[in-house]
Structure 1
Amino acid sequence: MRWASVLNLAMHLALLVMAPILVATEAIGRHTADQVAFAIIVGGVLAAIHLRHLRAATRGDRPAVWPLTLTLQVVLVYAPLLWLGPDWVSTQLPLTASMMLLLPRPWGPVVGFTGPCLVSGIAYFFLTSQTLSFRDTILEMVYFAISFVVFVLMLYGTARLVRLVNELYRSRTELAELAADEERVRVSRDLHDLLGHSLSAISLKGDLAVRLLSMDPDRARDEITSLTELARSTLRDVRAVTRDEHQVTLRQEIAAAQGLLAAAGVDTRIDVDSTNLALSDDAQQVLAWAVREATTNLLRHSDATTCTITLTHAAGTIALDIRNDGVRQPLPGDGSGLAGLKDRAARAGGSASGQVSGDDEFHLRVELPETSTLMKHP
């Protein structure tokens, strides 16, 4: 990016200083001291104006009062032509580039190129025809036309190149920020779903072990052992989440939910045909997280005694329904867990919703197309 800007500036500066140098060295015609001084001063003014135009154009913008500065540039380029002669003609190259960059699209670049090209050609023919033969004048005009087109397109092209490089750099920065934000959202969502479920299970097993300690020490010891293994498993899962390697399966989550709810004294009924478990990996991911989220919500936000988990597969649609009673009032609202689940379902082309019926029953429903494929966030 830095070298593109340096290259662009070097090309424009080379042509900006050309006219004062040609006048000062009397390249084509003889000039007085006043003419040389005039060329140097006005050449500096033209350079300042053009570089101001160029800087704004490379940012994809136009400088303040650009019609006024562009008009001043036109006057300072064409007014001295008859006085300074062909040595001053090269000032038209930066002028043409400024007009192509500043005039409004879509016809601005075309008008900005053809207008100065015609005027410059006529002026150059008039100036050279006074000292050269007709044949030499025609040859000089051909050389002038080729040089004019090449140099103007070079100036315009390098300015556009820098602008595109700047836009590419900004786009890359925005994409990097989006990727970072998306990764933060993913980690936050996965950790919420994972830790909410695991910590609820650890809390439940800890309370159960405390109650059993005086009545059934052997069973309490088993619960503590199970709690320790669950904590280790949670630690492994957290590490996997941070590396985006955490995978869950529907079969495992249903079995884990059934065991956890049984430990909590919830009568759990599972209505899942084994053929329904032969789903795509992406569909399994979404539905497994749904079972985990529903289990976590049941333990946190209800005094449930019954829970049913039903998975149906018909007409190209997979539907998971999870119902539990004992919903506490007031509801905690649409938390980040349900929002994360809706996001997962939407990325797989489906939907998720949760609502409470009049008899204090919570119903979570997730629907996915049969050919679910998780889509990455843009």
Structure 2
Amino acid sequence: MHKRAKLIVAVVFAGFASVYVVAGSPLALAVFGVQVAFTRRRSWWLVALQVALAYGSVLLFGSSVGILGFVGGSLLLTPLWPLALAVAVSAALLGPADPVISMVLISLVVYGLTRMIDRIDEVNAARLALAMTAAAEERLRIAAELNAGLGRALSVIADGARTGTPDVDTARSSLADARAAAASYRAMSLAPELSTAKAMLTTAGVTVDVRVGHAAPLGPAGALLAAVLREAVMEIVRRRTATTCRIETLTEGAAVRLRVSHDGARTAGDENLGDLPEQVEAAGGTLTVELADDAWVTVEATLPAVRPPVQPSHDSTLSMALLAAVLVGFSAKLLLAADSPWPAALLAVIVFMQLRSIEGRHPVALSIMAVLTFAPIPLYGQAWLGVAGFLAGPVLLAFPWAVALPLVALTVATVTVSGVLLAMPIPLTVNYAISTLVTGLVMYGLLKLAQLTRELRESKDGLARAAVVEERLRAARDLHDLLGHTLAAILLKCELARRLDAERARKELDDVLTMTERAMQDLRTVSGEQRELSLAAETEWARSLLAAAGIEVVLDLDHGALGKDVDTTLGIVVREAVTNVLRHSSARRCTITTSAEDGIVRLSVRNDGVRSAAPRHGSSGIGNLTTRLAALDGRLAVAAEDGWFELTAEIPTRVWVPA
């Protein structure tokens, strides 16, 4: 985008310089070269060289004083900007009014286009810094939220454990708060739920095609659409009749749409979506279920999307002001050449339409401008030929280059033919043809650079929002996978201690104290402080926790040395797997095995007591694990058969991760 902007500016400057080259000033090429160099490096010696070249062109070669506009524009960009007025005065002393107006216009255009280039550089340089700052601020905010709630609750639980009083209520509410916070953080994006849906459907043998056409964050709409997606996918898995599923998201105006289609339905209206239709309707959206003739069923939800407010653009204001000045200046030049005041009314209409249809994408407005450009030529003759440049700029903006360039060429050719028919001198006709092109390029450059700056700012803001979303998703994963597991273990131990005699309860409460310390470490990890885990330590902890729940545990670890990122990730997998065993089964036996072969480590957690072939809960955890493993070139698989459930993770033993 930066190179494209500089190219646009160079083309506009070259257009201005060409007018003076054609008029017989070889120094105009040197002035152009210095101007391009000045846009890259602001040096006083370049201004001095430009002064010498521009005034030399006027005094030695008799060039129009309009070429002094390059000097005026450069001075406006320096602390010596008041000297630009002195250049304008000198132009007025050396030449007539028409070229003096050209000099002022060129000064304004040089200043405006160069300032826009500067703005593009500034915005581009700030993109990464803004994203990092946004992520850091979000991390601090998350830390403050969690420390104020969960941090205080953990202190209360620890105090109760020290005094021999298991605080079950606080432990239960802390776990609920952690899960609610994780759900809230995940609500900003559909990405985790899409990953989970794909993993679940793939495991169920369904071919999945996911097409993402929305931009995060989605706000409250994200949470509701995630719930719709989750229920729709669970219905597909429950039925076991689908072979293909297509999941699409797209943005339409101020709304975001989710569409889940599959070939596993036989009758319409039997999708079990609970009270989701009422929730979607209450949120101002719609939720429909349709059955096509080919037995494909489509669940479609549409909700209003929450978008950040549009900030007023300083760059658009600058471009509008410069465009208005250019239009008024060129109009003044035309009126000076006219013998009648009547063209002023038509020019006012053209200027008004130019400013109203700023992007030139209105066919009706372009058609009217085309008529006003060429129809008055028989009435006003040579004076009206300069109006054609007003049409060339919007044409360049309105159409693709393949269409715009021939249309601009046709406009320039029409001016040339009109000059011949009006018996104008050949040099003057050529001058008008070139001026038409230059005027069009000036307007195109002003507006296009404003568009590029706006697009870059939007991408910068989008990058910052993406960084915030990613930080919240990271916090949600860690809340669920790390802190959620530890809080679930604390709740289990507190409930167990409340049912035991004092001596045995004391041992469980000692474990609670250890767990609260661990939970505080997890809380710091969620808040952005990286912490390494150990697969070996996590499996030992899993054996202790499962044994406390009355589950027989078999460990068979044979994975050898692992990279720290792999070790940490597999430790998190064990945590999630054990949490699922405790929450979603009535297991009596659990086997945890690891093996390594050909540089791939394989972890398997298998348990009995599965309550259903496809557990309806826990999808957040599976989605989190899928995301974590994919980041290290690993994969996750789950399977349920004959009352047994198995979670398997495979990952390279050592993975290079950028620092």
TM-score normalised by length of structure 2 = 0.48
Show the counterpart of 1:291.
574
Show the counterpart of 1:4.
315
Among 348, 362, 368, which residue is 2:632 paired with?
348
Deviations 1:274-315 (CA, angstroms, capped at 9, x unpaired): xx2422233223211110011111222233332221111113
Contact 1:208 1:223 survives alignment (8 Å)? yes
Show the counterpart of 1:93.
389
Deviation at 1:138, TM superposition (A): 4.4
Among 511, 517, 533, which residue is 1:232 paired with?
517
Deviation at 1:351, TM superposition (A): 1.9
Among 203, 207, 211, which residue is 2:495 paired with?
207
Is 1:40 paired with 2:324? no
Deviation at 1:121, TM superposition (A): 2.7
- Counterparts of 2:491 and 2:326, CA distance in 1: 77
- Counterparts of 2:420 and 2:560, CA distance in 1: 85
Deviation at 1:110, TM superposition (A): 0.8
Is 1:74 paired with 2:370? yes
Show the counterpart of 1:50.
354
Show the counterpart of 2:442.
154
CA RMSD of aligned residues (A): 2.8
- Counterparts of 1:94 and 1:10, CA distance in 2: 16
- Counterparts of 2:375 and 2:538, CA distance in 1: 84
Show the counterpart of 1:361.
644
- Quickly say closer, same or farther: Cα 1:230–1:370, change in 2 above 3 A: closer
Deviation at 1:243, TM superposition (A): 1.6
Contact 1:322 1:365 survives alignment (8 Å)? yes
Deviations 1:125-175 (CA, angstroms, capped at 9, x unpaired): 55473xxxxxxx444345445544333222112222222222223333333
- Quickly say closer, same or farther: Cα 1:329–1:148, change in 2 above 3 A: closer
- Counterparts of 2:460 and 2:587, CA distance in 1: 50
Deviation at 1:10, TM superposition (A): 3.1
Show the counterpart of 1:17.
328
1:86-165 superposed matches below 5 A:
86-103=382-399, 105-124=400-419, 126-127=421-422, 129=424, 137-141=425-429, 143-165=431-453
Show the counterpart of 2:255.
none
- Counterparts of 1:321 and 1:46, CA distance in 2: 74
- Quickly say closer, same or farther: Cα 1:347–1:211, change in 2 above 3 A: same
1:141-290 superposed matches below 5 A:
141=429, 143-214=431-502, 217=503, 219-243=504-528, 245-273=530-558, 276-290=559-573
Whichever residue aligns with residue 21 of structure 1, its letter is: A
- Counterparts of 1:205 and 1:173, CA distance in 2: 46
Q: Which structure 2 residue ranges, 5 or more long, are not aligned?
A: 1-118, 120-312
- Larger RCO of the pair (alpha carbons < 8 Å, separation 6+): 2
Among 313, 317, 320, which residue is 2:600 paired with?
317
SS in 1 for 2:604: strand
SS in 1 for 2:593: strand
Q: Which structure 1 residue ranges, 5 or more long, are not aligned?
A: 130-136
Contact 1:19 1:43 survives alignment (8 Å)? no
- Quickly say closer, same or farther: Cα 1:235–1:326, change in 2 above 3 A: same
- Quickly say closer, same or farther: Cα 1:267–1:23, change in 2 above 3 A: closer
Whichever residue aligns with residue 404 of structure 2, its letter is: P
Deviation at 1:53, TM superposition (A): 2.9
Deviation at 1:51, TM superposition (A): 2.1
- Quickly say closer, same or farther: Cα 1:279–1:227, change in 2 above 3 A: same
SS in 1 for 2:508: helix
- Counterparts of 1:342 and 1:88, CA distance in 2: 68
- Quickly say closer, same or farther: Cα 1:119–1:354, change in 2 above 3 A: same
Deviation at 1:244, TM superposition (A): 5.4
- Counterparts of 2:318 and 2:385, CA distance in 1: 23
Whichever residue aligns with residue 332 of structure 2, its letter is: I
SS in 2 for 1:247: coil
- Counterparts of 2:474 and 2:658, CA distance in 1: 13
SS in 2 for 1:303: coil
Deviations 1:194-216 (CA, angstroms, capped at 9, x unpaired): 233112211232233334434xx
The more displaced of 288-297 and 188-197 is 188-197
- Counterparts of 1:13 and 1:200, CA distance in 2: 66
SS in 2 for 1:313: strand
- Counterparts of 1:333 and 1:313, CA distance in 2: 32
Identity %: 33
Deviation at 1:46, TM superposition (A): 0.7
Contact 2:392 2:437 survives alignment (8 Å)? no
Q: Which protein is bigger by CA-based radius of gyration?
A: 1
- Counterparts of 2:453 and 2:622, CA distance in 1: 42
- Counterparts of 2:560 and 2:494, CA distance in 1: 32
- Quickly say closer, same or farther: Cα 1:53–1:347, change in 2 above 3 A: same
Deviation at 1:247, TM superposition (A): 3.4
Contact 2:604 2:649 survives alignment (8 Å)? yes
1:363-378 superposed matches below 5 A:
363-372=646-655
Whichever residue aligns with residue 41 of structure 1, its letter is: A
TM-score normalised by length of structure 1 = 0.81
- Counterparts of 1:371 and 1:142, CA distance in 2: 70
- Counterparts of 1:178 and 1:318, CA distance in 2: 32
Deviation at 1:373, TM superposition (A): 5.5
The more displaced of 205-214 and 39-48 is 205-214
Among 572, 578, 583, which residue is 1:300 paired with?
583
The more displaced of 109-118 and 200-209 is 200-209
SS in 2 for 1:368: strand
- Counterparts of 1:15 and 1:200, CA distance in 2: 69
Deviations 1:176-203 (CA, angstroms, capped at 9, x unpaired): 3333333322222221122331122112
Contact 1:345 1:352 survives alignment (8 Å)? yes
Contact 2:525 2:531 survives alignment (8 Å)? yes
Tell me the number of residue pairs that the alignment of Structure 1 and Structure 2 aligns.
347
SS in 2 for 1:271: strand
Deviation at 1:371, TM superposition (A): 4.8
SS in 2 for 1:17: helix
